[in-house]
Amino acid sequence: MMGKHLYLKRRPSATGTLLKGFLAGKHRIKKSRKLPQLGAIWNDVTVKPTEVKAFKKICDLKESETLPLLFPFTLLYPINLRILSQKEAKIPMFKMLTVRNSTLIQREIRIDETLDITSQITGQVFYEKGTEFYMESMLFSNDQVVWQNTSAFYIPGRPDNDKSEYTPPKLEPLSDGEILAEWFLLAENRFRFARIMGDSNGIHYNSRYAKAIGFKRDFSHPIRPASRALDQLPMLPGNGPLKLDLHFKGPAYYNNSLVQKKISTASSHRFDLYCGDEDRPCITGKLKRLG
């Protein structure tokens, strides 16, 4: 890893990260300043079977002896927030939004495996609507990469009157597609899931707070409905790696119905997830078998 990095011995606490973020002060992204290559390393990581069980129960997933495809985000999210809370980062972390995840899953991960994790800020792009920056994360088992992800974060506000013609990649909503599943997103266990994710943001468990800052009510961390949506998809044939792209378009509000639509080919599933009576999806995704 290039640049400065933190050596972690345990999962960073959400409260400690929140405090560091406040103490780091307010920052504005400037085109003249390149983000530092801050990163973190956390070795000899083991997951708690009770956390996996709780994750599966809250997301209503089928039982298995391996980690759910998106469970590694419960390990990465606290790490990435701790990196971004550092003073050197100078990122307005309370304004940023995760807009995309691009994940390569080399193989399933057993619950009892010991993992090494790295994560790092890798770049940024300025454009008319704001700034995107990226973090690349990897999970290793016995020195082999088993899961890797690049997350794109968005910070609103045009930096230094930038006129870049960059256009973020899109997964356009499906014009057609069969309804695969419908379910009701209960507010039950919303705080428990936020704790599992290491996310202390009140928009995911406090309706009054979410309304106060402009939302209809509190809404789920997107990993929860996305996990359920992935669990609904038929198994893709083959044994090669899986490539997963998720685009987060809007909130999945609690105590609302979710509808999942899909179009499939022999090697991929393209799916959209709609919340309530919204006419645009809150999550768009594509899962593809490689090789």
Q: What is the pLDDT of residue 160?
A: 60
Q: What is the pLDDT of residue 129?
A: 79
User: Which tokens belong to 223?
Assistant: 């990993």
The last residue of one of the domains, among 108, 137, 169, is 169
Domain hosting residue 256, numbered range: 172-291
Task: Using alpha carbons, select from 196, 107, 110, 104 the residue that is nearest to residue 150.
Answer: 104
Confidence of residue 21 (pLDDT cuts 50, 70, 90): confident
Are residues 188 and 145 located together in one domain of the fold? no
Q: What is the pLDDT of residue 2?
A: 63
pLDDT at 74 over 80: yes
d(CA 193, CA 74): 10
pLDDT at 35 over 70: yes
For the segment 135-157, what is each residue's pLDDT rounded down to a tens digit? 999 999 999 999 999 999 998 87
The last residue of one of the domains, among 154, 169, 184, is 169
Are residues 191 and 224 located together in one domain of the fold? yes
Q: What is the pLDDT of residue 256?
A: 97
The CATH code of the domain that includes 255 is: 3.10.129.10
- Looking at the 3D structure of the chain, how many domains does it have? 2
d(CA 61, CA 267): 22
